[in-house]
Chains A and B, each alone.
Chain A
Amino acid sequence: MAPILEIDDLSVAYRSAGGDVHAVEHVNLTLNAGEVVGLCGESGSGKSTLAYGATRLLRPPALITGGSVRYRGRRITQGGDPADVLTMSNRELARIRWREVAIVFQSAMNALNPVLRVQDQILDAITAHLKMPKHEAREKAATLLDLVGIPRDRLRAYPHELSGGMRQRVMIAMALAADPEVVIMDEPTTALDVVVQRDILAQIVELKETLGFAVLFITHDLSLLLELADRIAVMYAGRLLETGTASAIMREPAHPYTRGLLNSFPSLHGPRRELVGIPGTPPDLRDTLPGCPFIPRCSFTVPACSEVDMSLARPTGTGTNGEGSDRPGLITTDSHLTACPIVTPEEASKEGVLS
């Protein structure tokens, strides 16, 4: 699979009177064409900041303090050099936004304008990004609603006349207006109940299969990602702690934090298991303490933890870990990588995180 969006060593800080808040620090993440990558983390872990930073949607006081983001869409690069999102001009950016990289924003309740009909909002997105006569744009809006399974007569509806699930579908339809190659979904189903959530996720997967876009799916619900995503990146306090395929994360979580997440949601299927949870609260991102940010909440902490450089590497004590890597030396996007060189996956699974 060819990489389509490469986030390289990206750092984002929020300037504030009390000092910089390091919301994203040295994050590397690659999205391949046509795959679903799940980005999972607690509120305030920097997952949305990472996505908006990579698309240059942040406004001051947010500041990108380092790194690069390369976009390799077919229509932009024509096989040549990738486009560098962070250095491009506003005109180039305008060409990428929506047409190449679209976003489904969090909370469809607020992302739709309550005083405009659904049709007008979809038309707005279409006319802003595609040159198209009005009647064609109308037809396009109707086909978009078909795509997400909303009857066409709902075009004339106002957002308050739609259910939460339908509003979210409208948001998805709008994101797909220009046939983008990358769709970033920021907690698209968080406010919905499980049955509707399931429907929408199935719809996203189906659309992805037909239209072939890649998805960066941001959520705080790891259980959802295990089922949905091809690969998962676990974020904590502005840093990636672990990346790997969904099955690697599920079966052999290497970072104690991931283990803690896996232990903290109740399961419906299978035997009841003991839920442990993660004690404590996430750190203040203003303080940049050396080493691993998870130290205060981790049950494996040893003195060496404060010297960990937080770069991702293969889990310790495993020769050939991660799927899709026959040769242990070679690191691919599918490799199972962790920022914790202290704990081996066996230890993490055996002991869990103790409260």
Chain B
Amino acid sequence: MTEPIGNAPAVGGLAPGAAAGGLVPSEPAVTGQSAAPAVNASAEQVGEAAVVESVAASRGPLAMEAVGLNKVFKLGRGAVLQAVRDVSFNLYQGAVIALVGESGSGKSTVAKILAGQERPTSGQVIVDGKPIDVSNSRSFRRYKSQVQYVFQDPFSSLNPVHTVGYDLTRPVRLHQSGVKDVPAAVTALLEQVRLTPAAQFVVKYPHELSGGQRQRVSFARALAAQPTVLLADEPVSMLDVSIRLEMLNLLDDLRTRLSLALLYITHDIASARYFADEVLVMYGGQIVERGPAEDVTQHPAHPYTQLLIASAPDPDNLGSSLRAGNVVVGPGGAIAGKAGNVGPAQVGCPFSNRCPIADDKCRRENPALQLLTPVRAAACWRLDVAASPVASGSN
């Protein structure tokens, strides 16, 4: 069904996992006495991690590579939290990659690592063939202008005492040093995000703007640095449903016109279906499934993705299981149950303590991504059971 898309050149093929193979299984985080804050803190992923071609590669040249990212937070008293485990993916110019997962799945930490706000415990972020170097302030400043971040909450990400004009003038001065006519550049930015007439918005304070308008200002502020990569961390989840579509259309338009590489972080997998080229599903700090957006949302292979999709409100489902008070049943037989309070498992597959088809192996060993098609992969030991709809669906 989607194989043809995968014929794109496999630019800078992904090599997830390989670098971090052969690791010591982690202790449960609470004890963690031997958990060194190095690569070794990662759980062992068994088997060779698959090299997945990205469908997004057909959109444009490689913009950024995340290679084997790990992030371990020390919680004190020897306890550690592995927020990101062996995450690798590429961003391409003009393509949207969606990072989907629940709160605490590590998706924002990944974005912060890409933005240089957090240092990975191990792994690299590579731009233009060079790993980023936060210790060199000049190159890091250049990196900062290449990679911009849009925050989730437009209500708190804009300083209430500064006007829109001030918010935009500063990054223009800082990042576009050649520009003589700064006000004209600010006007152009506002027009780019369709805040017109621009003169009217330049003098406004955040409290005078609606949520959607504030988020547009955030976009304009990010674009002021003339970035090649935009990291959008839940850019629409604080906005009304009716405004979301407009904002996503705006982002879509911007990435096409400016050929931005966009990382779209969301917990709303339905918007990822419409908006993204490739979807990466994260759970418990690791990528559990990835592939073309339409394919992943229509034929989810991993039990967690199946649960995520079965949980999304389905307006067409008028005789809903919800009204009957039933729990969700996913296409592969995954059942949500009332396990919402259970965090990811510390040993074995992170989803094993919520997964209806988990067996002993799942609880013991953490699976690596396995190829389903050249452009799709899922990290699950029981794909034969879980992904049976995929096999039949995509042929």
Contact = CB atoms under 8 A, between A and B. Distances in A.
Interface of A: 42-44, 149-150, 163-166, 193-203, 205-206, 209, 220-224, 226-228, 246-247, 250, 260-262, 264-270, 272, 275-279, 281
B318 A250 contact: yes
A275 B274 contact: yes
Interface stretch (B31-39, B158-166, B237-245, B364-372): B237-245
Interface in B127-159: none
Given A266-B274, A266-B275, 9 more contacts: A193-B103, A198-B328, A199-B336, A200-B340, A224-B313, A227-B315, A260-B242, A275-B245, A276-B245
23 contacts: A44-B210, A149-B338, A193-B267, A194-B308, A195-B336, A198-B322, A199-B340, A202-B322, A221-B313, A222-B241, A223-B241, A226-B313, A227-B322, A246-B318, A250-B318, A264-B241, A265-B270, A268-B270, A268-B273, A268-B309, A272-B294, A276-B245, A277-B245
Interface in B86-121: 102-103
A228 B323 contact: yes
Interface string B268-295: 1111011100000000000000000010
A198 B329 CA distance: 12
Interface string B311-339: 11111111010111111100000001010
Contact of A165 (B307, B326, B341): B341
A215 B308 CA distance: 26
B211 interface: yes
Contacts of A166: 341
B183 interface: no
Contacts of A227: 313-315, 317-318, 320, 322-323
A260 B245 CA distance: 11
Interface in B257-271: 267-271
Contact of B211 (A43, A268, A272): A43
Contact of B268 (A149, A194, A198, A202): A194
Contacts of B308: 194-195
A195 B307 contact: yes
B81 to A, nearest CB: 15
A267 B270 contact: yes
A267 B316 contact: yes
Contact of A205 (B241, B313, B325): B325
B282 to A, nearest CB: 12
Nearest to B102: A193
A106 B394 CA distance: 42
A247 B267 CA distance: 27
B240 A220 contact: yes
Interface of B: 102-103, 210-212, 240-246, 249, 267-271, 273-275, 294, 297, 307-318, 320, 322-328, 336, 338, 340-341
A223 B152 CA distance: 22
B311 A198 contact: yes
A165 B328 CA distance: 17
Contact of A272 (B268, B273, B312, B320): B273
Contacts of B246: 277, 279
A269 B314 CA distance: 7
B83 to A, nearest CB: 16
Given A165-B341, A202-B322, A202-B326, A194 B312 contact: yes
A163 B271 CA distance: 25
A169 to B, nearest CB: 9
A164 B103 contact: yes
B133 to A, nearest CB: 35
A275 B314 CA distance: 16
Nearest to A203: B338
A220 B315 CA distance: 14
B309 A228 contact: no
Nearest to B105: A193
Nearest to B343: A163
Nearest to A269: B314
Contacts of A223: 241, 313-315
B210 A268 contact: no
B312 to A, nearest CB: 5
B253 to A, nearest CB: 13
A205 B341 contact: no
A42 B273 contact: no
Contacts of B241: 220-223, 261, 264-265
A194 B311 contact: yes
A222 B271 CA distance: 15
B318 A268 contact: no
A82 to B, nearest CB: 28
A349 to B, nearest CB: 14
B325 A206 contact: yes
Contacts of A203: 338
A42 B340 contact: no
A44 B210 CA distance: 10
A209 B325 contact: yes
